[in-house]
């Protein structure tokens, strides 16, 4: 019986001064400009000559002339003293030189403030670069690290976000409470639950009366580490203090109760979650609540109620929902209705079928080894059977495989005959099945709808 927890949760322009131009005073260096002009003419001649000349000697002579002319041109420089050293005593030219040699500059604080303005205007890429430059100018700029961390977090770059929040704290960011909470959230999103617990605990120590969100998220982190009791206690306390992530806070609390085996409490909080999502079921994926509440009823052996919830999940989901079909089939099986059970299981296989790999077994070869690479891949194996023949089909999985196997047998008309899913092990078996007719049968081998893949061996006996 499977719970579902698949919830949906440019260059910077500097205002540089334009370079001024000195007045064209008579100069002993003016001949260099004539050389340049002459060189341009010569180069144009060469460009054309390379297509017209056929004599290599003429080409070599022309190239030597160009090289000689180039040697007469002064070396280019951005510094006007270097380019016009003899005119540095000219007042007008000196003013131009002074203006040119003043490098435009901008402070780290100005860059930071510009970054804030860019964030406010939705220019996050520009803001990221502004914060980068502010930090480059001031490597201990705590506020810039924090704001850059916010941008990384919004881009789902949680590792970078966590590093920025840590640096903000290291350089004494003044809102230690918020920075530690943000650090915990970034670590939680990286699945670093133990580190997240430490960060949230720091928040609680700093101001327990304002730490409702920290209590809740610390509870989520505890539950993710299978410490369900601490997780439930913290989530409950956070919600009681006023933290509410709309329906999701109750969803995760209910799931923690279910994972802890406290199914009555799980149902109670799934009820709350479903009520809160009633006005916008699609936005808040209410079908997951229905499915999971059905799972809780299933474990309480209330199979009819479970079937109602699975049906609600199927109806509420705008997309096909294979997991609910699988779970509803399991509940029908418990009630002894194998026709409906097989129909639901077959629907589950059809919904997850992409391009199945086809294989055949012969009377000489009744063993097949294969690999399922993803949870919605399937292998279809055909064999010839005769009426009243008894067969046993088994799928075994090696210890180092991540595959949880599912198995179905279909008759010659593609109708489902039998189904098996892993129980106490990750293997699956259809034992002592009586074939109803002579013809071609199909064995479907698939992985569980959870993320599983790996090697398997199938035997037909």
278 with 298, same domain: the answer is yes
Alpha-carbon distance 448 to 203, whole Å?
A: 40
Mark whether 327 and 387 lie in a shared domain. Answer: no
Which residue has 């916010």 as its token pair?
150
Same domain, 345 and 362: no
| Residues 448, 401 contacting (CB under 8 angstroms) | no
Residue 105: its pLDDT value, please?
A: 73
Q: Is residue 52 part of a domain?
A: yes
Give the confidence band of 37 by pLDDT, cuts at 50, 70, 90: very low
Residue 456 shares a structural domain with residue 361: yes
Q: Is the pLDDT of residue 315 over 60?
A: yes
Any idea which of 135-144, 199-208, 235-244, 364-373 has the lowest mean pLDDT?
Answer: 364-373
Task: Among 337, 352, 367, give the residue marking a domain's end.
Answer: 352
Q: Which of 334, 352, 370 is the last residue of a domain?
A: 352
- Look at residue 157 and tell me if it is in a domain: no
Q: Which pLDDT band holds residue 128 (cuts at 50, 70, 90)? A: very high
pLDDT bin (cut points 50, 70, 90) of residue 32 is: very low
Across residues 149-167, what is the average pLDDT?
A: 97
Instruction: State residue 32 phi and psi, 5-degree precision.
Output: -65, -30
Q: How many domains does the chain have?
A: 3
Residues 348 and 371 in one domain: no
Residue 19 in this model has a pLDDT that exceeds 80: no
Average pLDDT over residues 209-217: 97
Is position 126 within any domain?
Answer: no
The Cα-based distances of 85 to 88, 93, 100, 102, 374 in angstroms read 6, 11, 15, 18, 73
Give the per-residue pLDDT at 26: 38
Residue 236 falls within a domain, yes or no?
A: no
Q: With a cut of 80, say whether residue 235 has pLDDT above it.
A: yes
Q: Is residue 294 part of a domain?
A: yes
Contact between 447 and 374 (Cβ < 8 Å): yes
Give the pLDDT band (50/70/90) at residue 98. Answer: low
Place 346 in a pLDDT band, splitting at 50, 70 and 90. Answer: very high
- 125, part of any domain: no
Q: Of residues 279 and 46, which shows the higher confidence score?
A: 279
What's the pLDDT score for residue 9?
A: 52
- Who's near 53: CB < 8 A, 6+ residues apart? 59, 62
- The reply to whether 394 and 445 lie within a common domain is yes
Domain range for 395? 357-460
pLDDT greater than 60 at residue 251: yes
Specify whether 287 is located in the same domain as 364. no
The answer to whether residue 361 sits within a structural domain is: yes
Q: Assess whether pLDDT exceeds 80 at residue 68.
A: no
Looking at the structure, tell me whether residues 319 and 361 fall in a common domain.
no
Q: How many angstroms separate the CA atoms of 75 and 83, rounded?
A: 8
Q: How far is CA 232 from CA 186, 236, 245, in A?
A: 21, 6, 15
Are 266 and 257 spatial neighbours (Cβ–Cβ below 8 Å)? yes
The CATH code of the domain that includes 311 is 1.25.40.10
- Distance, C-alpha 330 to centroid of its chain: 33
pLDDT at 89: 57
- Helices 212-224/247-259 angle, 10° precision: 40
Q: What is the pLDDT of residue 3?
A: 74
* Sheet with 390-396, edge to edge strand ranges: 367-372, 454-460, 390-396, 428-434
3-state secondary structure the chain: CCCCCCCCCCCCCCCCCCCCCCCCCCCCCCHHHHHHHHHHHHHHHHHHHHHHCCCHHHHHHHHHHHHHHHCCCCCCCCCHHHHCHHHCCCHHHHHHHHHHCCCCCCCHHHHHHHHHHHHHCCCHHHHHHHHHHHHHHCCCCHHHHHHHHHHHHHCCCHHHHHHHHHHHHHCCCCCHHHHHHHHHHHHHHCCCHHHHHHHHHHHHHHCHHHCHHHHHHHHHHHHHCCCHHHHHHHHHHHHHCCCCCCHHHHHHHHHHHHHCCCHHHHHHHHHHHHHHHHHHCCCCCHHHHHHHHHHHHHHCCCHHHHHHHHHHHHHHCCCCCHHHHHHHHHHHHHCCCHHHHHHHHHHHHHHHCCCCEEEECCCCCCEEEEEECCCCCEEEEEEEECCCCEEEEEEECCCCCCCCEEEEEECCCCCEEEEEECCCCCCEEEEEEECCCCEEEEEEEEECCCCCCEEEEEEEC
For residue 91, name the pLDDT band (cuts at 50, 70, 90): low
> In this model, does residue 279 exceed pLDDT 80?
yes
Do 372 and 347 belong together in one domain? Answer: no
| Same domain membership, residue 375 and residue 314 | no
pLDDT score of 42 more than 90: no
**Domain limit, last residue, from 302, 336, 352:** 352
In this structure, are 385 and 292 located in the same domain?
A: no
Q: What distance lies between CA 379 and its chain's CA centroid?
A: 29
Q: Residue 7: inside a domain, yes or no?
A: no
Q: Does residue 311 carry a pLDDT above 60?
A: yes
Are 336 and 371 in a shared domain? no
What's the pLDDT tens digit per position in 384-440? 999 999 999 999 999 888 888 999 999 999 999 999 987 778 899 999 999 999 999
CATH number, residue 381: 2.60.120.380
Q: Residue 377: its pLDDT value, please?
A: 84
The 10s digit of each residue's pLDDT in 288-307 is 999 999 999 999 999 999 99
172-182 confidence digits (pLDDT tens): 999 999 999 99
């Amino acid at each position: 019986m499977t719970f579902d927890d698949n919830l949906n949760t440019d260059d910077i322009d500097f205002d540089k001064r334009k370079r001024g131009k000195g007045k064209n005073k008579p100069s002993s260096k003016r001949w260099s400009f004539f050389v340049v002009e002459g060189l341009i003419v010569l180069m144009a001649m060469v460009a054309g000559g390379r297509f017209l000349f056929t004599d290599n000697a003429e080409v070599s002579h022309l190239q030597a002339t160009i090289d000689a002319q180039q040697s007469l041109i002064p070396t280019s420089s951005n510094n006007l003293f270097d380019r016009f050293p003899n005119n540095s005593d000219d007042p007008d030219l000196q003013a131009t030189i002074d203006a040119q040699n003043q490098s435009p500059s901008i402070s780290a604080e100005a860059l930071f403030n510009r970054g804030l303005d860019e964030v406010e205007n939705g220019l996050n890429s520009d803001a990221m670069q502004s914060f980068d430059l502010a930090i480059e100018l001031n490597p201990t700029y705590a506020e810039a690290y924090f704001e850059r961390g916010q941008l990384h977090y919004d881009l789902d770059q949680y590792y970078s976000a966590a590093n920025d929040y840590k640096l903000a704290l290291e350089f004494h960011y003044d809102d230690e409470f918020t920075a530690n909470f943000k650090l915990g959230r970034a670590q939680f999103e990286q699945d670093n639950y133990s580190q997240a617990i430490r960060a949230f605990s720091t928040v609680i120590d700093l101001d327990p009366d304002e730490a409702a969100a920290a209590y809740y998220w610390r509870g989520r982190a505890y539950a993710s580490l299978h410490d369900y009791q601490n997780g439930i206690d913290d989530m409950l306390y956070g919600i009681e203090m006023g933290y509410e992530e709309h329906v999701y806070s109750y969803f995760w609390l209910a799931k923690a109760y279910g994972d802890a085996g406290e199914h009555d409490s799980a149902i109670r909080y799934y009820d709350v979650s479903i009520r809160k999502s009633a006005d916008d079921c699609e936005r808040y994926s209410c079908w997951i609540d229905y499915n999971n509440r059905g799972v809780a009823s299933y474990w309480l052996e209330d199979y009819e109620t479970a079937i109602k919830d699975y049906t609600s999940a199927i109806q509420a989901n705008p997309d096909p929902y294979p997991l609910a079909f699988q779970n509803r089939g399991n509940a029908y099986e418990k009630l002894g209705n194998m026709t409906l059970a097989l129909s639901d299981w077959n629907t589950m296989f059809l919904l997850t079928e992409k391009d199945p790999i086809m294989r055949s077994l012969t009377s000489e070869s009744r063993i097949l080894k294969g690999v399922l690479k993803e949870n919605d891949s399937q292998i279809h194996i055909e064999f010839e059977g005769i009426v009243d023949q008894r067969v046993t089909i088994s799928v075994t999985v090696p210890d180092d495989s991540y595959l949880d196997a599912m198995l179905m047998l279909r008759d010659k008309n593609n109708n489902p005959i039998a189904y098996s899913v892993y129980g106490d092990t990750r293997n699956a078996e259809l034992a002592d099945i009586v074939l109803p007719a002579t013809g071609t049968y199909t064995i479907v081998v698939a992985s569980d709808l959870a993320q599983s893949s790996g090697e398997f061996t199938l035997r037909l006996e």
